[in-house]
Homo-oligomer: A and B are copies of this chain.
Amino acid sequence: MSKKNEISPARKWLSYRPEIKVLDCTIRDGGLMNNHRFSDEVVRAVYRACVEGGIDYMEFGYKASTESFPPDEYGPWKFCREEDVRRIVGDNDTDLKLSVMADVGRTNYKEDILPSEESIFDMVRVAAYIHQIPAALDMIHDAHEKGYETTLNLMAVSTIPDYELEQGLEMAVQSEVGTIYVVDSFGALYSEQVHYLVRKYLDFAGKAGKRVGMHAHNNLGLGFANTIEAIIEGAELLDGSMAGLGRGAGNCQTELLLGFLHNPKYRLRPVIECIQNHIEPMRKDLLWGLDIPYMLTGFLNQHPRDAIKFNTTEDRGNLVKFFDQMMEKE
């Protein structure tokens, strides 16, 4: 009855694709839940887990401009000064590469991002909305000239019309950028949409010799599933965070990603140890993870800010009230 010669796709998984790289963004994305005020102890534990777990990149936070963001209102990982990072990693004499994120319009990049030979960082990731592409490409040019690996993280892709996205990708592939990211900021994408988007990105990026990356959120509980879908379609740089720590519903879980990938260099135990001792203890204060308010903003393809705000009020847990509030706004 069934096709006897058909090979289960599952069987292909006993091998692995060495070009696939994992970036742990626990401290960077998690910092959005506590204004980047992680203790050195936590950041050091995540760093060590990344090194021991064989993870490829670790992202510490943002290169935010101190003119736009008063330093006394944020922890050190909003600014990622060289001396703060070196206090954690020394000279980072490991195989782990370090990355930092720079938001368009919020970074004094010409001054604050040093030439790479003077910097502890290996990669600069530029986060931009679609209308900010020209500014983002200028930042990427600057970082590339200074000797960094670069990525373009095109945010909120679930809200970008196709014709704009194609224009943006066309511009991006003509730049020096190394990797272009599908960023599902609202956690609103289903697997078929991820499939479609990664293919479209690769249509542009592949010919230009650039990688495609995936940054997924868990508003619909699909962060890991969508990252797998992106892998299947050809994405090679994958973001995860330990226990999913990240804004709102959080991210694809690094531990799930490492368990899924069959590259023998990845080790789960140090990551689980870090989660147990350093990440889970923060859960009661930071309130990240899948819940109904984040699910609703995901279904509505909206920024999770209303849900994040609701979860900090005394109405937290009044799910019906949040549902009614969101429906009224429609």
Interface residues of A (CB under 8 A from B): 1-3, 8-10, 13, 162, 166, 169-170, 190-193, 195-196, 200, 203-204, 207, 220-226, 228-229, 232, 253, 255-256, 259-260, 268-269, 272-273, 275-276, 280, 292, 295, 299, 317-320, 323-324
| 9 nearest CB pairs, A to B | A225-B225, A9-B192, A276-B319, A2-B203, A10-B193, A259-B299, A272-B319, A273-B320, A8-B196
Verify B272–A191 contact, CB threshold 8 A.
Answer: no
Verify A228–B8 contact, CB threshold 8 A.
Answer: no
Interface centre among A2, A191, A228, A317 (most CB of B within 10 A): A2
Main secondary structure of the interface of A (DSSP, over half): helix
Verify B10–A200 contact, CB threshold 8 A.
Answer: no
Verify B276–A10 contact, CB threshold 8 A.
Answer: no
Minimum distance in angstroms from A73 CB to a CB of chain B = 33
Other contacts beyond A8-B162, A225-B225: 14, CB < 8 A: A1-B166, A1-B170, A1-B207, A2-B166, A2-B200, A9-B192, A9-B195, A190-B260, A191-B228, A222-B225, A255-B292, A269-B324, A272-B292, A276-B318
Minimum distance in angstroms from A98 CB to a CB of chain B = 26
**Subset of 8 A-B contacts with CB under 8 Å:** A1-B166, A1-B170, A10-B196, A13-B192, A190-B260, A191-B191, A224-B225, A280-B317
On chain B, the residues within 8 Å of A9 by CB distance are: 192-193, 195-196
